[in-house]
Amino acid sequence: MRVVSLVPSLTEAVARTVPGALVGATDWCAHPADLDVVRVGGTKNPKTDRILSLAPDLVIANEEENRAPDLDALRAGGVEVLVTEVRTVPQAVTELDRTLTACGAPSRPRWLDEAEAAWADPPVPGRRATAVVPIWRRPWMVLGRDTFAGDVLARLGVDHLYATHAERYPRIPLDELRAARPDVVVLPDEPYRFTADDGPEAFPGLPCALVDGRYLTWYGPSLAEAPRALAAALRAAHR
């Protein structure tokens, strides 16, 4: 089986579960760190000719991260494309199982069982909190409706304030975000790299939780560690 992955989360999952299956991955596929495959461009601008030259049996993609015209071009070149849709934690588990099976995994990996178990009983505080979750600045953009990261936070007792917004990643003026007075501002390090020196200063007087974006937005082996790691980061914001 020769597989090209256009999704960093899926790249990590396949590399760990079906060693040797991957022949190509995007420039953004940073895990595992020692992954040695042909790089095929970005998630939004993959080099379809390079992918086709690898003669893959399967290209794995995601309906949000990858563009339909690129996937159509691969199909037109005779390549099978598997497209995942992940908006919730249970959906992530189901789609990972489906993808890994398609990539030749002989059985469901232990890490996926551990991830499902970890999310079956996540650490939830006694009182639910409200949050705004910026994913970009200049302009400010936040989590909106129907996102995987929003579902992750909800399962940890955090309800983000734009969950019912008409857009999935709306642009919201900073003054409005401040005026919402959330219990916590959640600042991931991707896609925008928020840090202690770049982000919290925009929200004076509000607790800010700096979180690893891999735990918040990736669906792969990191799912097993995500509940504990995110819960610890959220607690630290209130100390």
Residues forming a β-bridge with 3: 22, 58
The SS3 of residue 164 is: coil
Please name the amino acid found at residue 189.
D
CB 10 within 8 A of CB 60: yes
Q: Identify the pLDDT of residue 125.
A: 87
Count of all residues that appear for the chain in the document: 239
- pLDDT number for residue 238: 77
Burial 137-152 (b: 16+ CB within 10 A, else e): eeebbbbbbebbbbbb
pLDDT at 225: 96
The two tokens of residue 237 are 């914001």
Residue 205: band (very low, low, confident or very high) from pLDDT cuts 50, 70, 90? very high
182 within 8 A of 72, measured Cβ to Cβ: no
pLDDT score at 133: 98
Which residue matches tokens 């178990």? 117
Mean pLDDT on 91-96 = 97
What pLDDT, on a 0 to 100 scale, did the predictor assign at position 126? 84
Q: What is the pLDDT of residue 217?
A: 96
174 pLDDT exceeds 90?
A: yes
Which pLDDT value is given to residue 101?
Answer: 97
Of all residues in the chain, the percent with pLDDT exceeding 70 is 100
Q: And the tokens for 61?
A: 């993609």
| pLDDT tens digits, one per residue of 99-123 | 999 999 999 999 999 999 999 999 9
Q: What is the pLDDT at residue 78? A: 96
Instruction: Provide the pLDDT for residue 124.
Output: 87
Instruction: Tell me the average pLDDT of the chain.
Output: 96
Q: Check pLDDT > 80 for residue 24.
A: yes
pLDDT of residue 32: 95
